[in-house]
Amino acid sequence: MAELFQFELVSPERALLSEQVAEVVIPGTEGEFGVLKNHSPFMSTIKPGILKVQNDKGAWDEYFVRGGFADIAPGGLTVLAEQAIPVSEISKDLLDQAIENAREDVADAKDDEARQKAEMTLSQLQDVAEALKAA
């Protein structure tokens, strides 16, 4: 059995998780990466996607996260997410609304930088919708 480490998943609304886990797979902006006990310390930004957590029994739980940071330190891993929702609680309506909001942000963008950021968010949300359909 894998060695356990402390994992905290926090969003502005609430702390979703604070427990000993075996592994966490994070959708980093530079690519997906896994964290095990004694991982080298570093910090990464995260993109919208599915964060996977393996508990002490070997089962996996999945959370939709939208942006934020992952902080890997000697004491464990903390993910500060702009938004985090257990995949089991995500409704198609909620995701469709987020995609519609992102489309409006693209249409309302005042300059190229804002438009590119909005288009990236829209693309990532559409990727999440596809991933959830495939799951």
How many distinct structural domains can be found in the chain?
Answer: 2
Averages of pLDDT over each 10 residues, the chain, 135 residues? 90 92 95 94 92 94 91 95 87 85 92 90 81 67
Q: List all residues 6 or more positions away from 22 whose beta carbon is below 8 Å from its beta carbon.
A: 1, 2, 3, 4, 36, 54, 55, 56, 58
* Domain hosting residue 47, numbered range: 5-87
Is there a single domain that holds both residue 95 and residue 62?
no
pLDDT at 128: 76
Residue 72, CA distances (Å) to 5, 63, 117 in order = 11, 18, 26
| pTM: predicted TM-score of the whole model, two decimal places | 0.76
CATH at 11: 2.60.15.10
